[in-house]
Amino acid sequence: MGRKSLYLLMLGIFVAYYIYIPLPDNFEEPWRMMFTNAYLNTIKYSVYFVELLGLCNSMDSMQIFTSFLDAPPTSDENVTVTDTTFNNIPVRVFMPKRKSEALRRGLFYIHGGGWCLGSAASQNYDLLSRWTADRLDAVVVSTNYRLAPKYRFPTQFEDVYNALRWFLRPKVLAQYGVNPERIAVSGDSAGGNLAAAVTQQLLDDPDVKIKLKIQSLIYPALQPLDVDSPSYRENSEFPFLSRSLMIRFWSEYLTADPASLEKAMLSNQHVPAESHHLLKFVNWSSLLPERYIKGNVYKDPTYGSSELAMKYPGLLDVRVAPLLADDKKLHRLPLTYIITCQYDVLRDDGLMYVTRLRNAGVPVTHNHIENGFHGIFSFLEFKISDKIINNYISWLHENL
């Protein structure tokens, strides 16, 4: 064998090794997943490398990468798209063009991206809102919020909450022709976290008279207290959201100096002993249906230092961890739609919320996607995305 063909062979083996990942049997389009994952890993390794050299925080570099995918506000034949601000928060509004005699439904959408990435202008979120506005004949407000690492909790929460409060004023609803009795809040991933949090916050806001009809949570993150649930264990290396990346996102959201929290979370030793009473709200051993626990054994956690929790009070704040709300509060929440995916570290957060909401008497439609993965609302080239997004819009059509 010549030297050239030897090099080619080695290159071939390396490429195959780099791209190949074992996937479950029921997984649709495994090759699409492997190539997309290899592409994203290349970006991830590059930005981690740049971070290692001390040049730029990896989340900042990733923001620059993802912003290349932003779409300008472009109207099409069915939907008028405009960028504006609600209470100084930039939002993108999607208005159906066809005439309507009656007031329209309103959907307030919160994008995902680990509180660090993404925007209402990201191509996938722009498309999702466009489809929702058109097919539901609804006014869709897709909000932005300031991102970590530059900003952290409570900025993201407050930006979203302020934009939502602005939207829910009778004058603004009238201006957009929205029916105040048919309004939903929806979000995916970190946006699902913010959607659950602002929906809870509205319950006790004396200034807002309008009640939400629906909250819709798409594979939401709902608690950073226990990052060792069965779904965190089983999917710790699954594309597109590994356990370590999720922990990095939590740390970036909660602190300006993420390294110490990240380290404690990786070993699941970050909840101080004096907060042990909160663990019952996120106890997967009692809140998950048996078939998701399978062989996993629950261990009472090893407690972390009190200083850590004092330094990062957000960690145990209900606005960060909507699962920490008590049943009396949950009981007052509106009709809820929750999507969980089998191959997702955040699966059990969603499943535990389903159990807790139902125990508190809230009507819940739970759509568990057996062969779904984290990101199906963002990676629109997968066939399964189309199907799940269609289900979601049809459900809203019937219930909103």
Residues taking part in catalysis: 189, 344, 374
Q: 120-139: which residues touch ligand NAG (CB under 6 A)?
A: 134
Angstrom distance (rounded) from CA 239 to CA 373: 8
Which CB atom, from 78 or from 155, has the smaller least distance to ligand NAG? 78
Please say which residue, 298 or 395, places its beta carbon nearer to ligand NAG.
298
Binding flags for ligand NAG, 47-86, as an x/- string (CB under 6 A): -----------------------------xxx--------
Taking Cα atoms as reference points, which of 333, 315, 317 lies closest to residue 199? Answer: 333
Sheet bearing 214-218, strands edge to edge: 79-86, 89-96, 138-143, 104-110, 178-188, 214-218, 335-343, 364-373
Q: Do 236 and 345 contact (CB within 8 A), yes or no?
A: yes
In Å, how far are 126, 254, 305 from 311, measured between CA atoms? 37, 10, 10
- Tell me the closest approach of the beta carbon of residue 345 to ligand NAG, in angstroms: 20
For ligand NAG, the closer CB: 25 or 290: 290
Type of residue at 50: V
SS3 197: helix
Q: Where are the beta strands (DSSP E) in the chain?
A: 79-86, 89-96, 104-110, 138-143, 178-188, 214-218, 335-343, 364-373
Shortest distance in whole angstroms from residue 107 CB to ligand NAG: 17
Residue 339 CB partners (closer than 8 Å, separation 6+): 217, 218, 219, 350, 367, 368, 369, 372, 388, 392
Cβ(47)–Cβ(67) below 8 Å: no
Task: Return the number of the residue (78 or 179) whose C-beta is nearest ligand NAG.
Answer: 78
- Where helices occur in 108-242 by DSSP H, the ranges are 123-136, 155-167, 170-175, 190-203, 230-234
Is 285 a residue that touches ligand NAG (CB under 6 A)?
Answer: yes
| Smallest distance, ligand NAG to C-beta of residue 254, A | 22
Site string for ligand NAG, 243-282 (x = CB under 6 A): ------------------------------------xx--
**Contact between 175 and ligand NAG per CB under 6 A:** no
Minimum distance between the CB of residue 316 and ligand NAG, rounded to whole angstroms?
Answer: 14
Asked if 141 and 107 count as a contact pair (C-beta separation under 8 A), the reply is: yes
Query: Based on CB atoms, which residue is closest to ligand NAG, 269 or 283?
Result: 283
CB of 277 to ligand NAG, least distance (A): 9
Q: Helix (H, G, I), strand (E, B), or coil: what is residue 188? A: strand
# residues near ligand NAG by CB under 6 A? 11
Q: Shortest approach of ligand NAG to residue 76 CB, angstroms?
A: 4
Question: Shortest gap between Cβ of 344 and ligand NAG (angstroms)?
Answer: 22
CB of 77 to ligand NAG, least distance (A): 5
Which tokens is 173 given?
């609803």
- Nearest to 163, CA basis, from 96, 108, 94, 106: 108
* Residue 96 vs 350, nearer CB to ligand NAG: 96
> What values do phi and psi take at 345, rounded to 5?
-60, -30
Residue with tokens 């999720």: 246
Query: Which member of 207, 300, 370, 398 binds ligand NAG (CB under 6 A)?
Result: 300
User: Residue 53 or residue 297: which is nearer to ligand NAG going by CB?
Assistant: 297
Nearer to ligand NAG (CB atom), residue 134 or residue 159: 134
Check binding of 155 to ligand NAG (CB under 6 A): no
- Enumerate binding residues for ligand NAG (CB under 6 A): 76-78, 134, 279-280, 283, 285-286, 298, 300
